[in-house]
A and B are shown apart, each in its own frame.
Chain A
Amino acid sequence: MSNKKSPLLNVKGVLAGGKQNMVIILAAVALFFVFYLINPSFASDLNLNNMAKSFVPYAILALGVTFVIATGGIDLSIGTVCIGSAVLAGAICRTGVALEDGILWLTIPIIVLTGTVFGLINGLLVAKCKLAPFIATLGTMLVSRGLTSVVAEAVRETSSAVKYPTVGWFQDIFVKYNGFPVGLLWVLALTVICMVVMYKTKIGRYILAIGSNEEAARLSGIDTDKYKIIAYVIGGTFAGLAALFYTAANPSLTIAGGNGMELDAIAGVYIGGTSTTGGAASIMGTILGSLILVIIRNGLNLALSGGSIVSATNITYAVTGVIVVGAVMLDILKKKNAAKVKIPPTAEKKAEASKS
Chain B
Amino acid sequence: MKKLLALLLALVMVAGLVACGGGEATPTTTEAPVENPTDSPAQEDPTDAPVAADKGTIAVIAKGETHAFWQAVKAGAVDAGAAAGYEVTFRGPTAESEEYVPEQREMVQAALNNDDVKGIVLATIGLGFADELTAAFDKGLPVVEFDSGLYDNNADVTAEKDPTIGSVATDNFAAAGVVAENFYAYLKNNSLAVDGYKIGIIQHDSTSTGIDRAGGFKAKIEELAAADGITLDINVQVKANNEGEYKLGLSALKDWGAQSIFMTNEGVVNEVFPEISTNADAYKDILFAGFDAGTNQYTWMKDAGATYALLVGSVAQDSYNIGYKAVEMAINKLEGKEVSDVGIAGVWYTAENIDEQKDRNIFYMG
Binding site for B on A (CB under 8 A): 19-20, 23-24, 26-27, 30-31, 34, 38-39, 41-42, 44, 46-47, 49-50, 54, 83, 97, 161, 163-164, 166-167, 176, 249-254, 257-259, 296-298, 300-313, 315, 318-319, 322-323, 326, 329-330, 333-334
Contacts and interface: CB of A to CB of B under 8 A. Distances in A.
Contacts of B135: 46
Contacts of B25: 304, 306-309
B120 to A, nearest CB: 12
Given A34-B11, A254-B98, A258-B99, A166 B110 contact: no
B334 interface: no
Interface string B128-155: 1011000100000000000000011001
Main secondary structure of the interface of A (DSSP, over half): helix
B114 A41 contact: yes
Given A254-B97, A330-B2, A305 B127 contact: no
Given A46-B131, A301-B110, A309-B27, A163 B152 contact: yes
Contact of B24 (A19, A24, A308): A308
B109 A46 contact: yes
Pick from B4, B7, B11, B107 the residue with the most CB of A within 10 Å: B7
Contacts of B102: 54, 249-250
B130 A306 contact: no
A163 B131 CA distance: 17
Nearest to B1: A23
A20 B128 CA distance: 36
B352 interface: no
Nearest to B138: A46
Contacts of A26: 4, 7
B226 interface: no
A300 B97 contact: no
Contacts of A259: 99
A161 B128 contact: no
Given A26-B4, A250-B101, A298-B106, 10 more contacts: A41-B112, A163-B127, A250-B128, A252-B126, A254-B99, A257-B97, A298-B109, A304-B22, A306-B114, A311-B91
* Shortest Cβ-Cβ A-B pairs, 8 listed: A41-B113, A305-B110, A252-B127, A252-B126, A254-B98, A257-B99, A307-B89, A250-B128
Interface stretch (B13-21, B33-41, B162-170, B298-306): B13-21
A23 B128 CA distance: 34
Interface of B: 2-4, 6-7, 9-11, 13-15, 17-18, 20-22, 24-25, 27-29, 57, 87, 89, 91, 94, 97-99, 101-103, 105-107, 109-116, 126-128, 130-131, 135, 151-152, 155-156, 158
Contacts of B15: 34
Given A306-B25, A307-B28, A330-B2, A46 B112 contact: yes
Contacts of A251: 127-128
20 contacts: A23-B4, A23-B7, A24-B7, A26-B4, A26-B7, A34-B14, A34-B15, A39-B114, A47-B109, A49-B131, A83-B99, A97-B152, A298-B106, A304-B18, A304-B22, A304-B110, A305-B113, A306-B89, A306-B114, A308-B21
B3 A302 contact: no
Nearest to A250: B128
Contacts of B22: 303-304, 306, 308
Contacts of B98: 161, 250, 252-254, 257
Given A319-B14, A330-B2, A313 B103 contact: yes
B131 A309 contact: no
Contact of A322 (B13, B27, B97): B13
A100 B145 CA distance: 27
Contacts of B131: 46, 49-50, 176
